[in-house]
Structure 1
Amino acid sequence: MNQVVFLCVLSMLSQLGAPLLAPFRAVMEMVSGESRIFSGESVRLICSVPDIHRSSWNYMWFRGSEQLPQHGQHLILWNMKVEESGKYYCEGVRDTQVGNIKTLQSLPLEINVDGGWVILRVPPILSLVGDTLTVMCRVRGTPPLHEVILYRDAVEVMRRNDLNPYFSLTNLTLKEQGMYSCRASWDIHRRTHSVISADASVQVSEVLSLPVLEIVADNNLIPVNKIKLICHLQYNTHAPAPPIHYYFYKNNNRLGTATSENYDLVERTPGQYSCRAKVPELGISRWSEQETFGQVRGPEIMLHPSLRPRMPWSLVPLISSQQTSRPPAAHPSVHQSTQTPAFFQPTEVSIQTSSPPPKPSQPAPSTLLPTVQSLTQTPAPINISEELSDDTSAESSGDSAESDDMP
């Protein structure tokens, strides 16, 4: 039935002159060869169509915007020349009663043909922080080498004085990304040859990017008594990817249990909101910055009448609405208050400090005279013992009670 409906839609589109496109994309793979080769070498590509009906497809091949004369499922590029470098694509096409149907073009595969003597071979897979990256300084004709040097951004990184052309970069960090090249030296007929390769890019990515919290309060999209918290991040890992857990917080107090979704609906109340992403199997956890929702006000601290100044004070800074202490080390710092300074009369002076409160393990420093008293209610201390114990154990050993929150 679905196939009949699909053909009817295609028939209507063909009558309107619209292109007939199948609802899937062709897939191209490299069967033999490499994406960076010497001139004179060959590459073999294959194109396939993920059609569950196993229809009979023909194929079209492209280099850039140029269509190639080959039409089979395989594309064999013999004895390649430097000018044949470029991005290659393929497309599936088949004839039907309503005309030719084409698939979406495959993702591109770039092939670089080098006419020189040395190539730095970099694996095509994604490099992540903590991985080991192995590169090869490949020489045309494989002569006996006596020295190989690896460079990053034109600065020497490693040097080998043997026949081994491989270099391993262990425990990658973001500092290791850059443009790499290598220089190989060998002797032939009592003459020394020393040639440097073209640059090859090495990109290193974090497994978890820094999360960014979005607060959605559109009454047309969600209930009027709710707000939607969305934790945006980029998750890079090798397959199979371990599950990622999301946590949401208000004033550093966790809202509910962990979830596999990157959003949550919570009560619409003012406060400082944040989110945390965690991959328990990898022992990785990252926090977002805090975002303020609504108008947040905190208690004031008043001076004792005996300490009132004779002259009026002005432009005294205000403290942030919540005295919060963030969980340890790996968490981003709390936003500072952006409230507008207030003017005070000489009869009653209110002083508030913008310094963050001490952590529970530290005594509070004395910043006012012993006669200073609070004339308003003292704010209740924030219970962060659960977060501290959870984060400490999670970051050090990778085991956390929060992982049990997942359904």
Structure 2
Amino acid sequence: MDKLISLFVFSALSQIVVSHVPTETSFRANIELVSGHSRIFSGERAHLRCSIPDVHRSNWTYLWFRGSEELSQTGQELNLLNTKVQESGKYYCQGTRNTKVGKIRTQQSVPVELKVDGGWVILQVPQHPQLVGSTLEVTCRVRGNPRLEEIILYKDGVEVMRQNGHEPDFYLTNLSLEDLGVYSCRASWDVRGRTHSAISAGAHVQILEVLSQPILKIIPNYDTQLKRMKLICHVQYNAPAPAPPIDFYFYKNNRRLGPATSDNYNVVKQTPGPYSCKARVPQLGLSKSSEPKNFGQIRVAQPQRPSHL
């Protein structure tokens, strides 16, 4: 009887353990557009590849998705031939494999958006955000690559640049946040002595600052015994690798609290007052400060009443 009870308990525990085995790994699949561009004409091809950051080099089966629809392909690469407008969308990939405890999956990749255009003109823009101060290159493509007579670049519907000749590329130098917007282009070309003209769909261009304005966060009671609090300086640093080091400074009443540090936080005595922080990249000559943030009840000196003689 004791043996039967022991076997029953062991079986129940085994089922509990198996039921709690995670079905999704902690790492995420990666997807990349190997050839082609994120904006292509119908009838052209696109080539995507999925990779899984698995140091053990396990055997994975690859799942492909367009939006919420799972595709039939299961290989590491996805080749789209003779594309159709209906194949536009956000593409994801995911890895799956069988293990002793059941089937597990990676997290879905960050999507790659593919736009298949059935028209005559496409404006191809970079897939990733551009940085302030850099040069933006965009290409005004015409189906069949005919000899171009004129191309015009628009931003938010307003003409930005016009050029004659056969080169389809535009270059916008020394970018600023004002260059952010939706761009399109109009192309004119001749076929057998007849002039044709068409305009592309809009393409969004995103511009980022290399160093954003910091935001200070205050965490009170970080160390209750020593009555200390934590200051955290949140900032977006978008410099391309290898990025120069960034220094952080912390202030109270515009007076610096200690030397510069490579950490974006500082632990200080918990006292009322206005606090702020600054992020600085010496090699790039960049420096930005947060808005002051008050902590606790700040005593304001009351004006003295004039004495009556």
Superposition TM-score, scaled by structure 1 size: 0.69
Q: Secondary structure of the residue that 1:56 maps to in structure 2? A: coil
How does 1:145-156 map onto structure 2 within 5 Å?
145-156=148-159
* CA–CA separation in structure 2 for the residues paired with 1:177 and 1:154: 13
Code of the residue aligned with 2:228 in structure 1: it is K
**Alignment partner of 1:121 out of 119, 124, 143:** 124
Which residue of structure 1 aligns with residue 106 of structure 2?
103
Tell me the CA shift for residue 292 of structure 1: 2.3
Q: Secondary structure of the residue that 2:25 maps to in structure 1? A: strand
Contact 1:21-1:101 within 8 A present in 2 as well? yes
Code of the residue aligned with 1:92 in structure 2: it is G
Tell me the CA shift for residue 129 of structure 1: 1.0
* CA–CA separation in structure 2 for the residues paired with 1:59 and 1:246: 43
**Alignment partner of 1:136 out of 133, 136, 139:** 139
- C-alpha distance after superposition, 1:171-202 (max 9, x if no partner): 11111000000000011122110100000000
Tell me the CA shift for residue 59 of structure 1: 0.8
**Alignment partner of 2:38 out of 26, 35, 39:** 35
Which residue of structure 2 aligns with residue 165 of structure 1?
168
Which residue of structure 2 aligns with residue 271 of structure 1?
273
**Alignment partner of 1:75 out of 66, 73, 78:** 78
* CA–CA separation in structure 1 for the residues paired with 2:278 and 2:20: 51
- C-alpha distance after superposition, 1:61-113 (max 9, x if no partner): 11111111111111111110000101111111111222211111111111000
* Change in 2 beyond 3 A, CA 1:18/1:236: same
Which residue of structure 2 aligns with residue 189 of structure 1?
192
Tell me the CA shift for residue 134 of structure 1: 0.8
* CA–CA separation in structure 1 for the residues paired with 2:173 and 2:200: 22
* CA–CA separation in structure 2 for the residues paired with 1:40 and 1:14: 51
How does 1:44-55 map onto structure 2 within 5 Å?
44-55=47-58
Tell me the CA shift for residue 237 of structure 1: 2.1
Code of the residue aligned with 2:308 in structure 1: it is T
Structure 2 residue 24 is the aligned partner of structure 1 residue 63:
no
Q: Secondary structure of the residue that 1:256 maps to in structure 2? A: coil
Task: Give the length in aligned residue pairs.
Answer: 296
Which range moves more in the overlay, 134-143 or 228-237? 228-237
Which residue of structure 1 aligns with residue 234 of structure 2?
232
* CA–CA separation in structure 2 for the residues paired with 1:46 and 1:92: 12
* CA–CA separation in structure 2 for the residues paired with 1:128 and 1:179: 16
Tell me the CA shift for residue 273 of structure 1: 1.5
Tell me the CA shift for residue 231 of structure 1: 1.1
How does 1:265-304 map onto structure 2 within 5 Å?
265-297=267-299
Tell me the CA shift for residue 28 of structure 1: 1.2
Contact 2:21-2:101 within 8 A present in 1 as well? no
* CA–CA separation in structure 2 for the residues paired with 1:248 and 1:173: 28
**Alignment partner of 1:199 out of 186, 190, 202:** 202
* CA–CA separation in structure 2 for the residues paired with 1:165 and 1:138: 6
* CA–CA separation in structure 1 for the residues paired with 2:198 and 2:22: 51
* CA–CA separation in structure 2 for the residues paired with 1:158 and 1:52: 49
Superposition TM-score, scaled by structure 2 size: 0.90
- C-alpha distance after superposition, 1:142-190 (max 9, x if no partner): 1111110000000000000111111111111111000000000011122
* CA–CA separation in structure 2 for the residues paired with 1:178 and 1:299: 48
Q: Secondary structure of the residue that 2:127 maps to in structure 1? A: coil
Which residue of structure 2 aligns with residue 347 of structure 1?
308
Code of the residue aligned with 2:123 in structure 1: it is L
**Alignment partner of 1:216 out of 208, 215, 219:** 219
* CA–CA separation in structure 1 for the residues paired with 2:126 and 2:104: 36
Code of the residue aligned with 2:69 in structure 1: it is E
Structure 2: runs of 5 or more not aligned? 1-13
Which range moves more in the overlay, 251-260 or 172-181? 251-260
Q: Give the % identical residues.
A: 58
Code of the residue aligned with 1:278 in structure 2: it is R
* CA–CA separation in structure 1 for the residues paired with 2:279 and 2:132: 17
Contact 1:216-1:227 within 8 A present in 2 as well? yes
Which residue of structure 2 aligns with residue 259 of structure 1?
261
- C-alpha distance after superposition, 1:199-246 (max 9, x if no partner): 000011111211121222236x55442121111222222222222110
Q: Which runs of 4+ in 1 moved over 3 A?
A: 11-15, 221-224, 294-302
Code of the residue aligned with 2:145 in structure 1: it is T
Tell me the CA shift for residue 299 of structure 1: 6.1
The structure whose residues are more often strand, as a share, is 2
Tell me the CA shift for residue 289 of structure 1: 1.3
